[in-house]
Amino acid sequence: MAAVTRISPREPAVLWRRLASEFLGSGLLAAVVIGSGIAAQRLSPGETGLELLENAAATAAGLFAIILMFGPVSGGHFNPVVSFADAAFGGVRWRDAARYLPAQVAGCVTGAVAVNLMFAEAAVSISVKHRASGAHFLSEVIATAGLILVIFALARSGRARTTPAAVGAYIGAAYFFTSSTSFANPAITIGRMFSNSFAGIAPSSVPPFIAAQVIGGIAGVLIIRALYPGVTPAEAADVVVPHEAAGAAMAASDRRAPAAYAPARTGR
């Protein structure tokens, strides 16, 4: 039997796989969010509350499954705010987070186009659903900060493997406790612009939403630093779930451990 060679987490081939994972996961996320919105609109016309419930339930369940599918390769971020928050804690390199961003946005746009075609709509259908308001802005700040808190609190407390369920549950609930229906993700915000459906967002509403999400991400990082001081790169590398790239951060953390964590010697 041939020996199995494990590729180092720092080699370009693994970065390529991580980018592919983020692209595909983001595409499926957009497909779930937008597709379930279109289906809900068709199945329950005029029943806004029921449409939202169907959209939220499908999104929560789909997000759970998508993180399980792609998380072991890239961590399952599918969200630039999560990637840059992870970089702030040392879980990924800043340049890798910057590389994740276009993959995530391209995936969400591709997913939106695919959904339009699956439902026999025009491939590109720009939304006319205006969502920008002060209430929506505040909702996106809170929704995004809460998402960062869920993810990094679980990583810091050693419960990263429960994150797929927790993130799905949080986003499903946030559909209802925020007036914006909790986009909490710049990539999916851009993707939803390409669907003139129940789940869409008008281009003019996109910049305020993204600004609110960035602010929420920063707030989430600051709150995590206050509540869970000393988040290590090894813990951050488990975001959203433990994955291949976590090995490099874990090794770096282990190398620093004697100086940072070893008890003082008595001199005997």
| Helix, strand or coil, per DSSP, at residue 92 | coil
Band (pLDDT 50/70/90 cuts) for residue 172 is very high
pLDDT for position 3: 45
Contacts with 170 (C-beta within 8 Å, 6 or more apart), sequence order: 146, 147, 150
pLDDT, tens digit (0-9, with 9 covering 90-100), for 195-216: 999 899 999 999 999 999 999 9
Domains of the chain, each with CATH number or no CATH: 15-242 (1.20.1080.10)
Exposed/middle/buried for residue 267 (C-beta within 10 Å: 0-12, 13-18, 19+): exposed
Mean pLDDT, range 218-241, rounded to an integer: 92
pLDDT for position 238: 86
Band (pLDDT 50/70/90 cuts) for residue 246 is low
| pLDDT at residue 262 is higher than 70 | no
Contacts with 52 (C-beta within 8 Å, 6 or more apart), sequence order: 40, 175, 176, 181
| pLDDT at residue 257 is higher than 90 | no
pLDDT, tens digit (0-9, with 9 covering 90-100), for 4-62: 444 444 444 488 999 999 999 999 999 999 999 999 999 999 999 999 999 999 999 99
pLDDT for position 265: 34
pLDDT, tens digit (0-9, with 9 covering 90-100), for 112-140: 999 999 999 999 999 999 999 999 999 99
pLDDT for position 24: 98
- The amino acid present at 254, given as its one-letter code, is D
Nearest in space to 105 (alpha carbons), one of 175, 41, 193, 15: 193
pLDDT, tens digit (0-9, with 9 covering 90-100), for 138-154: 999 999 999 999 999 99
Nearest in space to 43 (alpha carbons), one of 202, 197, 200: 197
Q: pTM (2 decimals)?
A: 0.86
